[in-house]
Structure 1
Amino acid sequence: MPACDLIIIGAGVLGTFHAYHAAKAGKRVLLLEKDRYPVGATVRNFGQVVPSGLAGRWFDYGRRSLELYREIQQQTDITIRQNGTVYVASEPSEWQVANELHDRYSRIGYRSELLSKEQVLAKWPSLRADYVYGGLFFPDELSVEPEQMIHRLIGFVQEKLAVEYRPGSVVIGCEPIGDHVRVTLANGQTVEAGRVLLCGGHEVRLLFPDVLAQAGLVVSKLQMLLAEPVAGLELPGNILTGLTIRRYEAFQECPSYQQLTPVSPELAELQRWGIHILFKQATDGSIIVGDSHEYAAATAQEDLGYHTQDYINNLMLTEARRIAAFPVTVRKAWAGFYSQTPNEIFEYDVAPNIRIITGIGGKGMSSSAGYAEESIQQWGL
């Protein structure tokens, strides 16, 4: 008899929430992580849980994720803060689209508030008055500290749900053996389970390169900045701006989206690099600023390089300083990578009891908890 019911390969937010839901359903779960701790997209992001920007079923998963985060936070501190999300419109056509999104969410009972320019500046006085036209605020949305949250979530599923967690476990083989699956580790050990789920991002190429070649996965490279704390500065919640309104899927479904006023040549250059400016203050007062997006096929990720480009960072800094009145002094910069697919997410059964799930894109922090719940149920676990 296999030692466990389910082995999950990859302990990022997508894999760990699958472990959470499977263990809640009474399954014996082994969670494997190739590194000493997760270092991928789960920790290289803003830590914003913003269903408001998602569309279709991903909004529903995100809405459910808010509930799940709160449920866990009531049992243990996973760094959840409910300070809301604001989208700051910078001109009339962005404001019109924000009004339309507010109306749509009002019809389905998802709380939002339209804020006048004066109300935005009263709540966020460190934003520049000449940038702000109005704001759309979602009071129920959350912030997390991404580098801390995943460690605490893994600790929670170990302690409360008896998930076995093995970091530093590099998987080099995964094959069906009769009615179960054998997983081989780089140290020569093998473990067996009734089923195996791979949630290792584009690293699926290490085990199933033929699958990756057919998946159509694209890797997105994001550049982000961490700004030094500013004495006395408070930036509650997630602050998203006009370029975000022009980028996020939820706004693209609004009737007036196609009538947005064309941006200036300077902003068009930002859009060419997939830049939209977000601010999120961490608990230590530092401020994450970003981000940009460059793309390459997952089979050619190396083309994106490992470096960050000063040109992109300077574009982001210039726009951030046009929006915010506080000094933005960079402490460090980094690049994050996540995989995505034109089909919203990549789900593939290598065998009846071996499943790959990857390509969730930038939706992971906001929607993985809700998505994984449905995923586990649909797989009959």
Structure 2
Amino acid sequence: MADLDYDVVVVGGGVLGTFHAYHAMKKGLRVALLEQDNMPKSATVRNFGQVVPSGMNTKWQEYGRKSLKTYKKIHAKFDITVRQEGSIYLASDDEEVQLIEELREINRANDYTSILFTKSECLSKYPGLNEKYVKAGLFFPEEITVEPRTMIGRMHKYLKKKGVSIFYRAKVIECNALSNQVSTQLANGRMLLSSKVIICNGNDFKTLYPQLFAMSDLEISKLQMMKTKPQGNYKISGSILTGLSIRRYEAFAECPSYLKIKSREPLDSLEKKWGVHILFKQAMDGGVILGDSHEYAAAENIDDLGFDLNMEIDNLMIDKAKEIFQLPTYEIDQRWFGMYSQCKNSDIFEKTIDENIHIVTGIGGKGMTGSAGFAKHNINQLFNI
């Protein structure tokens, strides 16, 4: 059975594919969005839900800032769980203070609002923060959080209301370029015809184009996270990023002092071994999400990362978190890991096949923050808008 009515078929219902579908719809295109499961189950729903352009380099911060506008614009019409409570980077020593001061100057030049907080201002705004840990903070008031598992489902409902056709359990088994169209064959026997196909799902990319996938520079990052039991009346607002994040995030690599400061770090610490940098965010149920860690493997060796949680990593993160925040409880309610693909040598994987089949994947940890802004740019580019 063939369906002839689409300008673009987007493969992958995660955040990157969903916002490609959104921006295509906004341009008046007829859109179908395909999700292989009954709802997205991968990286999109297995992260903090921190939308933090402040942590990105100059190029991707611009995409992230456009994402902020998109999230807020949609949320004003349809609740997608946006909370604008800002983000803060907490510096724990003089080197990290120097980096946040330098980042403030970079963002002043970029016309992106940031506010330097003194130690006392940090302690006043964030109850439970350990006064022995914090020396200063850099606050970004425009930044938001979302609830990933809820947000993506609500985005799909919003797209349906706007006329996007969404197909679940729609496993793609073949894409073929025709004279002026692309046929997309599903495992359930259905075939969709469209002017273009955009593949935003790493699993479908691997299945449909195994040789190209094998030749790519994609690697997989495995992140461990956890959530405490609800904290009662205790409230912590926005995204909390700490000293290890300052030393890790790409935005700080543009600071003049970054390389010298990084060169003085010990190479054999457990934090470096497991790629740990401590983040906090309070979930809607009152529990506090904390993490995370990073283990890497080439995409074709994903099984090397295993299917289990490494309790040494979890215990390390809890111990580090306790040095930063004195929460009412550190009793853990949930533990999980997420995996995302990224490129070793570029910021995203893009490949066009036969002019009208476009692979866009490997956005890495930038997905929740950068996808909405990047997708707008990419749709405009692909359709010459």
Q: Tell me the TM-score normalised to structure 1 length.
A: 0.97
Is the counterpart of residue 361 in structure 1 residue 352 in structure 2? no
Q: Report SS of the residue matched to 2:175.
A: strand
Q: Quote the offset at 1:259 in angstroms.
A: 3.1
Deviation track 1:292-313 (CA, whole Å, cap 9, x = no partner) reads 0011111111111111111111
Match of 1:64 among 63, 66, 69: 66
1:130 & 1:232 partners in 2: Cα distance?
24
Is the counterpart of residue 3 in structure 1 residue 5 in structure 2? yes
Which residue in 2 is equivalent to 1:155?
A: 157
1:123 & 1:182 partners in 2: Cα distance?
55
Which residue in 2 is equivalent to 1:175?
A: 176
Contact 2:70 2:373 in 1 (8 A): yes
Q: Quote the offset at 1:380 in angstroms.
A: 1.4
Match of 2:91 among 81, 89, 92: 89
Q: Quote the offset at 1:264 in angstroms.
A: 6.5
Contact 1:202 1:358 in 2 (8 A): no
Is the counterpart of residue 138 in structure 1 residue 140 in structure 2? yes
After superposition, where does 1:105-116 map in structure 2 within 5 Å?
105-116=107-118
Match of 2:23 among 21, 26, 29: 21
Which residue in 2 is equivalent to 1:324?
A: 325
Deviation track 1:268-306 (CA, whole Å, cap 9, x = no partner) reads 211221100000001111111000001111111111111
1:380 & 1:189 partners in 2: Cα distance?
26
1:227 & 1:293 partners in 2: Cα distance?
20
1:353 & 1:224 partners in 2: Cα distance?
38
After superposition, where does 1:111-130 map in structure 2 within 5 Å?
111-130=113-132
- What letter corresponds to residue 108 of structure 2 in structure 1? S
Q: Report SS of the residue matched to 1:3.
A: strand
Say how many residue pairs are matched: 379
Q: Report SS of the residue matched to 1:77.
A: coil
What stretches of structure 1 move > 6 A for 4+ residues in a row? none
Which residue in 1 is equivalent to 2:101?
A: 99
Q: Report SS of the residue matched to 1:234.
A: coil
Instruction: Check 1:175–1:265 CA distance in 2 against 1; reply closer, same or farther (3 A cut).
Output: closer
2:58 & 2:37 partners in 1: Cα distance?
34
Contact 2:52 2:87 in 1 (8 A): yes
Which residue in 1 is equivalent to 2:245?
A: 244
Q: Quote the offset at 1:215 in angstroms.
A: 1.2
Which residue in 2 is equivalent to 1:303?
A: 304
1:94 & 1:203 partners in 2: Cα distance?
41
- What letter corresponds to residue 182 of structure 1 in structure 2? S
- What letter corresponds to residue 297 of structure 1 in structure 2? A
Q: Quote the offset at 1:203 in angstroms.
A: 3.9
2:48 & 2:202 partners in 1: Cα distance?
18
Contact 2:172 2:204 in 1 (8 A): no
Contact 2:119 2:137 in 1 (8 A): yes
Is the counterpart of residue 270 in structure 1 residue 265 in structure 2? no
Is the counterpart of residue 351 in structure 1 residue 345 in structure 2? no
- What letter corresponds to residue 334 of structure 1 in structure 2? W
Is the counterpart of residue 184 in structure 1 residue 185 in structure 2? yes
Q: Tell me the TM-score normalised to structure 2 length.
A: 0.96
2:375 & 2:284 partners in 1: Cα distance?
28
Q: Report SS of the residue matched to 1:276.
A: coil
Q: Quote the offset at 1:201 in angstroms.
A: 2.4
Q: Report SS of the residue matched to 1:251.
A: helix
2:226 & 2:202 partners in 1: Cα distance?
23
Deviation track 1:222-268 (CA, whole Å, cap 9, x = no partner) reads 111111111221110000000000000011110111232745788x2
1:271 & 1:225 partners in 2: Cα distance?
19
Q: Quote the offset at 1:15 in angstroms.
A: 0.2
